[in-house]
Amino acid sequence: MSKSLPKRSENYSEWYNELVKRADLAENSAVRGCMVIKPYGYSIWEKMQRALDDMFKETGHTNAYFPLFVPKSLFEAEEKNAEGFAKECAVVTHYRLKNDPEKAGKLMVDPEAKLEEELVVRPTSEAIIWSTYKNWIQSYRDLPLLINQWANVVRWEMRTRLFLRTAEFLWQEGHTAHASKEEAIAETEQMLEVYATFAEQFMAVPVVRGKKTANERFAGAEETYCIEAMMQDGRALQAGTSHFLGQNFAKAFDVKFMTKENKQDFVWGTSWGVSTRLMGALIMAHSDDEGLVLPPKLAPIQVVIVPIFKGEEQLAQISEAVKPIVTALKKQGISVKFDNSDKQSPGFKFAEYELKGVPVRLAIGARDLANGTVEIARRDTKVKATYPIDTVVETVSGLLEEIQANIYQRALDFRATHLFKVDTWEEFTKIIESEGLGFISAHWDGTSETEDKIKELTKATIRCIPLDSVEEEGKCVLTGKPSTRRVIFAKAY
């Protein structure tokens, strides 16, 4: 195995792929399009789950679990939703295998064990959940119903990429039911804000909050809100979506409730989700040619301590000096690893923990013991400095906060320099065709035809209509027709 990663600047996607594998995050599995998430990668996902789950609970949601399989008849009930996902569904048709009479030791699908009704492996759970909600909701007193589930879903994608698009992926999906349209919209917007806050404060990835155009809307939704993040190659990554479902699913599954006024009405729904794709966003937003750069809040190991020693005696002395540091850091809630293995040289360890994105590294050798010092290195800037040993805890906890803030700021600055306000088609194509592309803020006439045409010509799509976009007079960048606000165009993952 060669020591260094492919250069990010030379081949971004090769760099990404190699990084995911080399940092022990995930690898391809024996199943087409499905990945194995390795322990180190999974522990990052667990930290994401923990933080998100806390935020869901804080906003009044509880977790539940619904089946992996959806009977076809339920799946097709909400027509638009079914149609939107039909092309990427895995379907279970049989429930038994048997020995193949013609090939010894081989199994075959037992043709006699055909299911009466096919089961769709959920690509999303609206159908199975709304069919259940019908039984749970009778009165306005049963509302709002605020439920989340952590689950796996399957979407049979033609081309997959580790974390960004896999046939099976892990996610959470919130499904809520409300007595009024206003309340459902407020819920949709609240959860979008939860996602945006998580992305910015935990992942250190700035996002644009916005609404999707009709073309990009979730199948079965009245309105799809999203957060869009910019990766280091200037492409956009949809990092989370929150849908206002109107009464579409309530009508499809006949979910009615009695209002305070003693009238029957259909309930209003929302659904919202983020997936292991966030791992892809996290990796692509911050990492460099040396490897991962993790935000301290999501790093499984926040501080690694590397002893530099000659012989066991020195290691024992260093270990003694390290002990109180480890204890003190842990007391602060900081996760620490003391790597006292003598299998690898310090240089090897330095490179290894950089590859894995450990935010802070301490190095202690005989020289430090004599001087009462520790070398502290930060992953984001690669700056090293020596500090008195009794200031380590304070320095480290300050540094973790600084790194969290710094990588967010760096990503924000990157986005700022790759966000272009464009008013002519010439400029538009020039930017979109250049290597280091980015987000284009431009006027659009509001029609699907124009959106499609632009996609056809440039491969750029409307990522969203930003929630904070200001109303202004303008002309569509392609057609010249009047427009009242700018939208964000970009090439997307």
Partner RNA sequence: CGGGGUGUAGCGUAGCCCGGUAUCGCGCUUGGUUUGGGACCAAGAGGUCGUAGGUUCGAAUCCUGCCACCCCGACCA
Residues that bind RNA (CB under 7 A): 1-4, 13-14, 17, 28, 32-33, 84-85, 87-88, 123-124, 153, 155, 157-162, 165, 212, 216-219, 224, 238, 241, 290, 308-311, 342-348, 350-352, 354-355, 363-369, 375, 377, 382, 384, 459, 492
Q: Locate 322 and state its tokens.
A: 């390290």
User: For residue 9, what are its two tokens?
Assistant: 């600047």
Q: Which residue number, 123 or 296, has a Cβ lying nearer to RNA?
A: 123
User: Cβ of residue 112: shortest distance to RNA, in angstroms?
Assistant: 26
Choice between 191 and 308, CB closer to RNA: 308
End-to-end CA distance of the chain: 29
Least Cβ distance, residue 309 to RNA (angstroms)? 6
- Closer by beta carbon to RNA, 28 or else 406: 28
Phi, psi values for residue 249, rounded to 5°: -75, -35
Q: Alpha helices, DSSP H only, in 378-466?
A: 392-417, 425-433, 448-458
Question: Could you tell me the smallest distance in angstroms from the CB atom of residue 137 to RNA?
Answer: 25
What is the closest distance, in whole angstroms, from the C-beta atom of residue 160 to RNA in the complex?
Answer: 6
Q: Distance between CA 393 and CA 141 in Å, rounded?
A: 52
Question: What three-state secondary structure class fits 247?
Answer: coil
- Asked whether the bond before 295 is cis by omega within 30 degrees of 0, the reply is no
CB 66 within 8 A of CB 149: yes
State the nearest-atom distance from the C-beta of 213 to RNA, in Å. Answer: 10
| Nearest residue (CB) to RNA, 235 versus 415 | 235
User: By the 8 A CB rule, do 139 and 257 touch?
Assistant: yes
- Helix (H) or strand (E) holding 223, with range, is strand 223-230
Residue 25 CB, shortest distance to RNA, in Å, is 14
If the CB atoms of residues 84 and 474 are measured against RNA, the closer one turns out to be 84
354 or 380, CB closer to RNA? 354
Task: Fill in the DSSP letter of residue 7.
Answer: P
Contact indicator for 268, 184 with CB cutoff of 8 Å: yes
CB of 226 to RNA, least distance (A): 8
Q: Are strands 69-71 and 114-121 parallel, antiparallel or unpaired?
A: antiparallel
CB of 258 to RNA, least distance (A): 33
Spatial distance between the Cα atoms of 291 and 284, rounded to a whole number of angstroms: 10
Contacts of 186 (CB under 8 A, 6+ apart): none
Q: Which is nearer to RNA, 88 or 390 (CB)?
A: 88
C-alpha 335/C-alpha 319 separation (Å) is 17
Contacts with 361 (C-beta within 8 Å, 6 or more apart), sequence order: 303, 304, 305, 306, 350, 353, 376, 377, 378, 379
Tokens linked to 376: 């502290």
Nearer to RNA, 349 or 486 (CB): 349
Q: Which two tokens stand for residue 295?
A: 């935000």
Nearer to RNA (CB atom), residue 24 or residue 118 = 24
In the complex with RNA, the residue whose CB is nearer, 159 or 331, is: 159
Q: How far is the CB of 319 from RNA (least distance, A)?
A: 14
Q: Is 256 exposed, middle or buried (0-12, 13-18, 19+ CB in 10 A)?
A: middle
DSSP tag of 214 = G
Whole-number Å distance between alpha carbons of 87 and 103: 33
CB of 202 to RNA, least distance (A): 21
| Least distance (Å) between residue 77 CB and RNA | 17
